[in-house]
Chain A
Amino acid sequence: MLKTSEIAPRFPILQNKTIILGIRYFFMILVAFLLFGIILVISGKDPLQSYKDIFTYTLGSTYGFSEVLVAMIPMLLTALAVALPARVGLINVGGEGQLYIGAAFATFGALTFSNLPAWLLLPIMIILGMLGGALWAFIPGYLKSIGLVNETITTLLLNPVAPKIIGFLIFGFWHSPMDTVKTPNFVAAARLPTFFGTRIHLGLIIGLIMLVLFWLFMKYTRWGLEMRAIGNNAQAARRNGIPLKKYLIVVMCIGGAIAGLAGMSQVSGFYGVLLLNFSMSLGYMGFMVSWLAGGEPLGILLMSFVIAVIITGGNLLQLTRGVPYSVINLLLAFTLFVVLARPNLIKGKKV
């Protein structure tokens, strides 16, 4: 039989692969910025001035920089929510939904236990958030493990359902007296503390800790080893006695839990209230970040930062130059296109 697909030979592992990867990405981002600059020119804005504005704000001013970090927080977690299942070959596109459900569970905690002190309430909310996300991921995980439906489709389908559940809960039970699109503000005890008068909240620490844990886990523990075996060759792993089904379900749930944690950190740390449709495609951005980073924790850190810069810059442009916010999507898209179009540079990495 003729085969039209052959696995392309992969590059041997280079030393400092992250650094080399970083250089390549930098170059690609440059190209993306160039393309976006063209768009700016077409729409009558001065690209150089716009870029200058973006960079002075995000990297030049402390407040701007802090805003970047704030934007980064949820993406660290949603990207991790994709990267972990990817290690066993699962494609989790459901970060969006898991995030929402996690937020919902956490909100329940905030509203119900509002008279508890922070050191008790916050951990409860964290646990609830992770529980919610895990639950939402359980269904796709289970269906996949029994070989019934593929997790890409199920997670994708469940995504739009989650915000509607939130809408239902807010409208029906939780809405504040004045506003039907959000809950009353969380009590102070339910809010993740912020630092230095900026909006950076504890979620950043949580996110960084999770990344480190992820790295340690995959590298040193027994389960990390088994997961990598599954991701490498599920058939072989099974023959070698590794319990495939168990891992598929559990890992999917943990991924969901992490996304749920992202949701919790957003409503608790950032907003302080559960808002309808509060996620601006955070789950999908997490997917892209993880994919861009090749599923590596350091890469996730880097790419979340880059994307966060773009988003924050976009917010700035919207305020100062009247560029509609969604146009920043173009810059995002260009970055992605450029990366996607050069598969030979990042092939061989699992998302």
Chain B
Amino acid sequence: MRGITKAFPGVLANDQINLDIFASEVHALLGENGAGKSTLMKILYGFYRLDSGQILSNGQPVTIQSPHDARALKMGMVFQDFSLIPALSVMENLALFLPRLPAVLDVKGINQRIREVSERYGLDINPEAMVSQLSIGELQKVEILKLLLADARLLILDEPTRVLAPHEVQALFKVIDSLKKDGYAIVLITHKLKEVLECADRITILRGGRVAGTLLRSEVDEEGLISLMFEKKLGSPIVTHKRVSPEKAAPLLELRDVWTHAEGLETSLKGIDLKVNPGEIVGVAGVSGNGQKELGDVAMGLIHCSRGKKFIFNQDFTDKSIQEVRMSGVAFIPENPLTLSIAPFMTVLQNIAITRTKKYARLGGLSMDWQAVQADVDRSTQKLGFSFPLYILARSLSGGNLQRMVVAREMIDEPRLIIASYLTRGLDVQSTIAARQALVQARDNGAGVLLILEDLEELLALSDCLIVLYTGKIVGNFRPEDTNVYEIGHLMTGSEVEHVEN
């Protein structure tokens, strides 16, 4: 791939990227969230069109306009969400994608073929099993089988170990190894350092849409990789943090040894101990998919702990419902407002009202005091410095305005505890600054905030206290002034490091 450039609205995902993929080699594509790894591979696989650049196969330029073309070039990609049909058997799922399937299924023959390939590479899959009964690790193997049976020679694996248990990861590496030895080229998209070091032959590090470096395994070590992955950006943070909490105040939110059970592609939380004190912003760092969503959900009461206890405002809230959590003064700003917290076909004003209908109900519920809603919104937006139209349908708002609306709405009652999940995802600069200031304002007034963010710099700037999530566990707990980007980066990617006090 030469000079690949791809831009999406608002972000340059790939900027002049060069990449070489060789046969019989595992090429790891390493980088943080949003570094552009997935995008690059999706271009290779035909999901996206490149804006400029060239793709060459065996030295010949080719155009790839759809996955069909990619498959014709013998490429295959395994995505993070699997495309398998649970109600069908392994054999049926694979047969569906076989390029030369006869009109009458030769069940025995296909099973035979599956077993052969499966054995050859240590995939160990029973073709007659129902997909719905397979573990995640096995599902992944089936996806790989799918590619192999379709004669792919270049396999792209997108964050394959995200949902695997450690022993499954080892099994996967063995498979990759045997594939490599048979001449396959494998591209591994990942953010986990350990795996890269264990498995890859060639490593390309992407950072902010650009290639930060391409090295052979032999040329590099952990430190070197980290320094390439995380670059210290210049520019002072907009806000400074100072602890405002009174001494010996009771924590607003406390999670004690909380475990949750995860289904399918979710991450389970393991042994979470967490405290959010008044006047404090607790930042949660980690690569997306390591349990952040679940943490937010369990704090809100959307999912229940299978073990452990949860305390809000010093009362046991372990088994309480979302309504009760909300009514006690907890605000929730989720990622993706359009799907998670907005009624798209109602007006903005109505959307503001739906979280606290009781407050605005008059005559026992027979009518709603829209004046009061308006007044509240005006007050909130004044304080925050936002402005957005009130009488149009929510779905017509831009992403940035939607988030502002949600923030304004949640801040109306001056909540004591705020749980913000990916607050600034997809927002333009202005909205980002405004949202952050809102949180800081709240914090300065004595509220506590649980802040889940992707951007490390932002987290370091805003948080009074920082924890790092990795595969559902807390692997680090610091004050920002005691740590730095590299250390956090290490923890986010799974490598342990000695914590050095400054």
Q: Which A residues form the contact surface with B (CB < 8 A)?
A: 1-2, 13, 220-223, 225-226, 228-229, 232-233, 235-243, 348
Contacts and interface: CB of A to CB of B under 8 A. Distances in A.
B340 A222 contact: no
Contacts of B327: 241
A104 to B, nearest CB: 33
B354 interface: yes
Interface core residue of A223, A233, A241 (most chain B CB under 10 Å): A241
Contacts of A228: 343, 346, 350
A240 B300 CA distance: 10
B226 interface: no
Interface stretch (B87-95, B232-240, B247-255, B363-371): B363-371
Nearest to A13: B393
B81 A240 contact: no
Interface in B448-486: none
Contacts of A238: 302, 322
Given A1-B81, A235-B339, A222 B334 contact: no
B342 interface: yes
A235 B340 contact: yes
Given A221-B368, A236-B343, 7 more contacts: A1-B81, A221-B367, A222-B361, A225-B350, A225-B357, A229-B354, A241-B322
A232 B361 contact: no
A223 B365 contact: yes
Interface in B36-81: 67, 79, 81
B97 interface: no
Contacts of A348: 345
B256 interface: no
B432 interface: no
Nearest to B327: A241
A269 B433 CA distance: 66
Decide if the interface of chain A is mainly helix, strand, loop or mixed.
helix
A107 to B, nearest CB: 34
A235 B337 CA distance: 11
B353 interface: yes
A225 B351 CA distance: 9
Contacts of B302: 238-239
A79 B270 CA distance: 51
Contact of B345 (A232, A239, A241): A232
A232 B346 contact: yes
A233 B339 contact: yes
A293 B380 CA distance: 39
Given A13-B393, A222-B365, A239 B357 contact: no
Contacts of A243: 323
11 contacts: A1-B81, A220-B367, A221-B367, A221-B368, A233-B342, A235-B340, A236-B343, A239-B300, A239-B332, A241-B356, A348-B345
B160 interface: no
B132 to A, nearest CB: 18
Contacts of A239: 300, 302, 322, 332, 334, 340-341
Contact of B360 (A222, A223, A233, A237): A222
Contacts of B334: 239
B180 to A, nearest CB: 27
A226 B334 CA distance: 20
B83 interface: yes
Contacts of A226: 354, 357
B326 interface: yes
B355 interface: yes
A288 B357 CA distance: 33
The 4 closest A-B pairs by CB, nearest first: A232-B343, A222-B361, A222-B365, A241-B326
A236 B340 contact: yes
B344 interface: yes
Given A222-B360, A225-B368, A240 B346 contact: no
A1 B38 CA distance: 13
B367 A241 contact: no
A188 B365 CA distance: 39
Contact of B344 (A1, A233, A241, A242): A233
A2 B326 CA distance: 37
A348 B344 CA distance: 11
A219 to B, nearest CB: 10
A241 B342 CA distance: 12
A69 B199 CA distance: 79
A155 to B, nearest CB: 25
Interface in B289-343: 300, 302, 322-323, 326-327, 332, 334, 339-343
B300 A232 contact: no
Contacts of B353: 225
Nearest to A228: B346
A221 B350 contact: no
Nearest to B81: A1
Contacts of A223: 365
B67 to A, nearest CB: 8
A209 B436 CA distance: 51
Contacts of B346: 228-229, 232
A2 B436 CA distance: 35
Contacts of A2: 67
Contact of B368 (A1, A220, A232): A220
Contact of A225 (B81, B345, B354): B354
B294 to A, nearest CB: 15
Contacts of B300: 239
B366 A221 contact: yes
Given A221-B368, A222-B365, A241-B322, A233 B332 contact: no
A241 B355 contact: yes
A77 B332 CA distance: 40
Contacts of B81: 1
Q: Which interface residue of A13, A229, A237, A242 has the most chain B CB atoms within 10 A?
A: A229
B368 A240 contact: no
Contacts of A229: 343, 346, 350, 354
Contacts of B350: 225, 228-229
B77 to A, nearest CB: 11
Give the most central of A223, A228, A233, A235: most B CB within 10 Å: A233
